Chain A
């Protein structure tokens, strides 16, 4: 049966068909749908872990127990999960272990543009890179074969365009793969120095064998055409190259991007006068070609930044560009904004009003950094708000009274807790605001340990944030409703003033959650004096029409915070 499938959906189908039994992941665009889709198959156990390191360790445990297992994450997630990965490379697997990592060239929704192929090379784990949905599914099955045959975890590298493009997939049946026998084997599974030394030797031998696999694998394909130009490429870039250059050049399409084959690359390069290496982000294939003594052209033309495309390739190689028309008028940008009624808005309004220095984090609330609130000073990675604030305050103790950290509930579970322990243990009088909207919002609304539900939608244990913060050593913990601006502001100012570390939990579910009952939309009346105080909230439902404030009834959810701000009773 043929179906149009998102790359991520095809990935889930591949896991299902390959007999995968245990899945543990942490959400992250553009990888999230793999796990959401695979959770729909009853035969597969699937969960959201609190972070990628936990997810990876769960998958490693399941593999050791003999099941085909999986964990998925975005590129930066692999940094968090790198510790278990690098040693799982030594232990190898029992049941096959496949890892999805989704890169985001162009940073459509990421904080950096790192190239995860470096992790594959550094951890000495094979990495496959499909280019469309059918390949995704096929490569996942091949990844399990390689994993079990070579005793190694296997990474499948996705990218935004592969993960979030739908193309046709031929659907097959699930293979029933029984659990492999579990036999205690400390030499292989207990990685203390004496055993790990032996396993490192194994890893180096395995890499040699994997290079042989890469030399003969059907995943590395050569397409010969007339002409004196060869192109070496992989993943979605292969599709851009095919569209731009068609049959005017020959291709070496690499489906295995780690380790790279030597013989094929050398013999391919020998056949042509000119060979281009076209790869997004870093120069990994190019560097390998040059190491092998092949004279190739790559980054000098294509650079290291952003996505490639058919037109970039056409322009750089053929020197032709496509004509187009544009309006003369300047077109205002349309940046993402917090939704109308977003519970985060009230907190950021209070922080902006009081000119507080805000150590930020990653989630919907990062939009608090945008106009008109501009209420965020820093954002680095998940969890860095809390630990960063502690460092900031150690360097500038006088800032304890005017600085806070803001962090979402999912992010706090992911990597905020350890930072909070550090504040209590190494004592700064820091103020931390947990923005508890009862969901992982940014990545499209996933459950997490604070929501009381699991990935399959069943009721689950719910973390008590107040009790948790107290247990971590913070005595001052209070809860506010961010729809109540006065209460929120009072809490922030009081906690900043005290000589003790404190946590404020701003609690109100995300306005987009289905169970949230909204009030009727508000309206402005003739009392509006055009003071524009309400516009400072950055609510997308409020704008100025004919000089007066006006509320869009299709967007407004009646949260009421604009009404609290209006001094003239013009909002009702």
Chain B
């Protein structure tokens, strides 16, 4: 199989590390070679965070570059817009509808672009908006929006649901397991 590339983007503190761990796990269980690459540090203080997941029979570079991502999972609208250049022709963006103002917007130096999804539509981008925050709150905690998005991702990949649940069990602490399973189900059901 050719190498596939997934990019997970969001804002520091939104839980993209857990999302990449779950995806990495489930892909490893399928027998692929997997590489997951993230940058820790400055970006965690509320800055943009990017994680790359690559898998296939053989993976060399751990990073995903412009025009290479088969799938982009975004935790926030503006970050989805920022990541668009990384999308491969014909690739898909799954994005939370959540909006978080970055500091230049808060200070009034610039404006949050209003019509990101319309622009995606006009460009003919395959994208799936998900009200992940609301579904996560329904599952019991706003923090579980990452796992809601994993639920949506699972419907776009040819991997059994049971395998995903196993990966979630391995990656999530026992006391949050039920909540996260519910978040995952809600994500699966919404598409």
Within 8 A of A (CB), among B34-70: 34-48, 59-63, 65-68
**A238 nearest CB neighbor, chain B only:** B60
Q: Which of B109-117, B150-158, B182-190 contacts A (4 or more CB under 8 A)?
A: B109-117
- Is B125 at the interface (CB under 8 A from chain A)? yes
Q: How far is the CB of B24 from chain A (nearest CB, A)?
A: 5
Selected contact of B61 from candidates A239, A328, A367, CB within 8 Å? A239
- Is B82 at the interface (CB under 8 A from chain A)? yes
Contacts of A535 in B (CB 8 A): 106-108
Q: With A30-B40, A331-B113, A332-B102 given, name 9 new contacts (CB 8 A).
A: A29-B40, A109-B43, A167-B59, A331-B78, A332-B112, A335-B102, A337-B46, A532-B108, A542-B106
Contacts of A330 in B (CB 8 A): 110, 113
A19-62 vs B, Cβ < 8 Å mask (1 yes, 0 no)? 00000000001100100000000000000000000000000000
Question: A338 CA to B87 CA in the complex, in Å?
Answer: 31
Contacts of A329 in B (CB 8 A): 81, 113, 116, 119
Q: How far is the CB of B172 from chain A (nearest CB, A)?
A: 16
B34 engages A239 (CB within 8 Å): no
B42 engages A160 (CB within 8 Å): no
B85 engages A337 (CB within 8 Å): no
Q: How far is the CB of B136 from chain A (nearest CB, A)?
A: 11
- Is A327 at the interface (CB under 8 A from chain B)? yes
B21-43 vs A, Cβ < 8 Å mask (1 yes, 0 no)? 00011001000011111111111
Question: A443 CA to B43 CA in the complex, in Å?
Answer: 11
- Is A516 at the interface (CB under 8 A from chain B)? no
Q: How far is the CB of B2 from chain A (nearest CB, A)?
A: 12
Contacts of A443 in B (CB 8 A): 41
Question: Which among A30, A243, A535 has the greatest number of chain B C-beta atoms within 10 A?
Answer: A243
Question: A336 CA to B44 CA in the complex, in Å?
Answer: 7
Question: A309 CA to B68 CA in the complex, in Å?
Answer: 12
A332 engages B105 (CB within 8 Å): yes
Question: A243 CA to B54 CA in the complex, in Å?
Answer: 12
Number of A residues contacting the other chain (C-beta, 8 Å)? Answer: 57
Question: Which among B33, B62, B102 has the greatest number of chain A C-beta atoms within 10 A?
Answer: B62
B81 engages A165 (CB within 8 Å): no
- Is B174 at the interface (CB under 8 A from chain A)? no
**A538 nearest CB neighbor, chain B only:** B103
B37 engages A161 (CB within 8 Å): yes
Question: A427 CA to B11 CA in the complex, in Å?
Answer: 46
B45 engages A338 (CB within 8 Å): yes
Question: Which among B24, B40, B125 has the greatest number of chain A C-beta atoms within 10 A?
Answer: B40
A166 engages B39 (CB within 8 Å): no
Contacts of A164 in B (CB 8 A): 37-40
- Is A325 at the interface (CB under 8 A from chain B)? yes
Selected contact of B68 from candidates A109, A322, A371, A372, CB within 8 Å? A322
**B79 nearest CB neighbor, chain A only:** A334
- Of the A-B pairs whose beta carbons lie under 8 Å apart in the complex, a sample of 10, sorted by A's number, is A132-B35, A239-B61, A323-B89, A324-B86, A331-B82, A332-B78, A333-B104, A336-B46, A337-B103, A538-B107
**B43 nearest CB neighbor, chain A only:** A336
Question: A325 CA to B120 CA in the complex, in Å?
Answer: 10
Question: A478 CA to B140 CA in the complex, in Å?
Answer: 45
Question: A326 CA to B59 CA in the complex, in Å?
Answer: 27
- Is A236 at the interface (CB under 8 A from chain B)? yes
B36 engages A4 (CB within 8 Å): yes
B85 engages A324 (CB within 8 Å): yes
- Is B15 at the interface (CB under 8 A from chain A)? no
B41 engages A108 (CB within 8 Å): yes
- Is B177 at the interface (CB under 8 A from chain A)? no
Contacts of B142 in A (CB 8 A): 554
Question: A329 CA to B65 CA in the complex, in Å?
Answer: 21
Contact of A444 with B113 at beta-carbon distance under 8 Å, contacts A167-B34, A337-B47 already known: no
